Structure 1
C-alpha cells in the first residue's frame, strides 16, 4: 500500500464531495475502477485548503495544478497478535432503521419498509459502535472520542445536498486477529468513506 500527503486548494476543499473528486485525479486512467483509496482530512484552513492523509492500493501520480502531491511512501503492514497499538479513526457512526415514510421495497413477494441511516448522537452509542467494529480483530484498552462539527456537502450535478456527523476516535488496542485487522485497514471501517471516514491509522503503543 501507499501512504501519501496531499494539499487540496480551498476552492475544492470547502465541499467534501469536490474534495473526493479531486483525489481521483491522482489516479488518472483508473476512474472506472473501484475506489482503492481511503483518506482523512488532517487540517482544514478556510481560504487556504486541506491537508489530507491518503492510503491507497495504487501509487498516486502528480498532476498539474491541483491536488498537490506533497509526498508518498510505500509501506507494508507488519502486525502480530498480542501487539498493543495506538489507533486513530474518523468515522460516521450510524444505525439502520425501517422508515415506511420513505416508501417500500418488494422482496420475494413481500413488501418491506425502506431502510434509512440515522446518526448515533449519544456518546455511549458511539462508543458501543466502535467497540463492535473493532471486536473481530482487537480488544479495546482505552478510548478518547471527539464529536466533530457536522459535515455538509452538495452534489451540484444532482442538485442535492446532505450532511453527516463524524466522530474522531483515538485510543489503544491489543490485536487479537492480525490478518483481520489488516483486511479492515485496507477496506475501511464504517460508511461515508467518500467523505473522509473509515481510514484506520495505527502506530506502536
Structure 2
C-alpha cells in the first residue's frame, strides 16, 4: 500500500476543473495507475480525499495498492516547471511500515471526509426507505461514533457505546466543512448525483489495530469513489 500527497495549483484552469466535480477527480486519480483497467469487473480500491486547508492550498491525498504516476495531474493542475527541475510534484510513501506499527492503546489525531447518510421512511410509503444525508453536526457526529467499535478505534472523550443519542460525551472531534455537490454521473445516462460530505478532525485511541488498518486502507462509509471514506492519522502534538 502507498500513501500519496499532491498539492493542486488553484490558480490554474485545470485545477479548477478538477475541483468542480468529484467525478472528474475520480477519473483523473485512476488514470495514474496503469495497472488498473477501467473496464475490469473487480479493481483494487483506490481512496482519495481533498483537504482544503486554505483558499490557495488544496491537497490531494491518495491511498492505493500500487505506486501512482501523477505526471498528468502535475501537468494539468500542478507546477510542471518546478517538476521539470527535479521534483516530481507529488510525494509517495510506502504505507505498510506505518500500518504495521499501529498498536492498541495508541492515540492519534485523525482526519476523515465522509458521506454520513441514513435510511429514512418516505412520506408516501412508510414501508419504503430512502437514503438521506445527515445535515446537522449532532447527527453527523453520531454517524461516526456508531462506527467506533467495528472500525477499531474510539474517539477520545466519547462513550465506548456505539453512538446512541446522547452518548457523545466530550468527544474530541470537530465536524466542519459541510459541502453539497451535484454532478452528472458518467456512464449512467447523465444522471445527476447529489453528494453531501463533511470533514471530521479529532483524536482517537486504537482499540483494534487490525480493524483500524482495514479502515485506513479500505475506507469507511459510502461514496468512496467520490472522495469520501479516507481516514488519515497524524502524531498527537
- Give me the TM-score of the superposition, normalised by structure 1: 0.82
Whether the 8 Å contact between 1:41 and 1:53 is mirrored in structure 2 is: yes
Whether the 8 Å contact between 1:23 and 1:67 is mirrored in structure 2 is: no
The correspondence of residues 4-153 of structure 1 with structure 2, limited to 5 A, is: 4-6=4-6, 7=8, 9-31=15-37, 32=40, 33-43=42-52, 51-64=59-72, 65-66=75-76, 70-76=90-96, 77=99, 78-99=101-122, 115-136=129-150, 137-141=152-156, 142-153=172-183
| Structure number having the greater strand percentage | 1
Question: Are residues 156 and 44 of structure 1, via their aligned partners in 2, closer, same or farther at CA, if it must alter by over 3 Å?
Answer: farther
Whether the 8 Å contact between 2:178 and 2:197 is mirrored in structure 1 is: yes
Whether the 8 Å contact between 1:43 and 1:50 is mirrored in structure 2 is: yes
- Decide which of 166, 181, 196 is 2:212's aligned counterpart: 181
**After the TM superposition, which of the residue ranges 187-196 and 60-69 deviates more from structure 2?**
60-69
Whether the 8 Å contact between 1:9 and 1:49 is mirrored in structure 2 is: no
RMSD: 2.8
Q: How far has the Cα of 1:156 moved from its partner?
A: 5.3
Unaligned runs of 5+ in 2: 9-13, 79-88, 157-171
- 4+ residue stretches of structure 1 with deviation over 6 A? none
- Give me the TM-score of the superposition, normalised by structure 2: 0.72
CA distance in 2, matches of 1:155, 1:133: 28
Unaligned runs of 5+ in 1: 103-111
Whether the 8 Å contact between 1:93 and 1:126 is mirrored in structure 2 is: yes
SS at match of 2:32: helix
Question: Are residues 101 and 170 of structure 1, via their aligned partners in 2, closer, same or farther at CA, if it must alter by over 3 Å?
Answer: same
Q: How far has the Cα of 1:166 moved from its partner?
A: 1.1
SS at match of 1:55: strand
SS at match of 2:203: strand
- Number of matched residues? 195
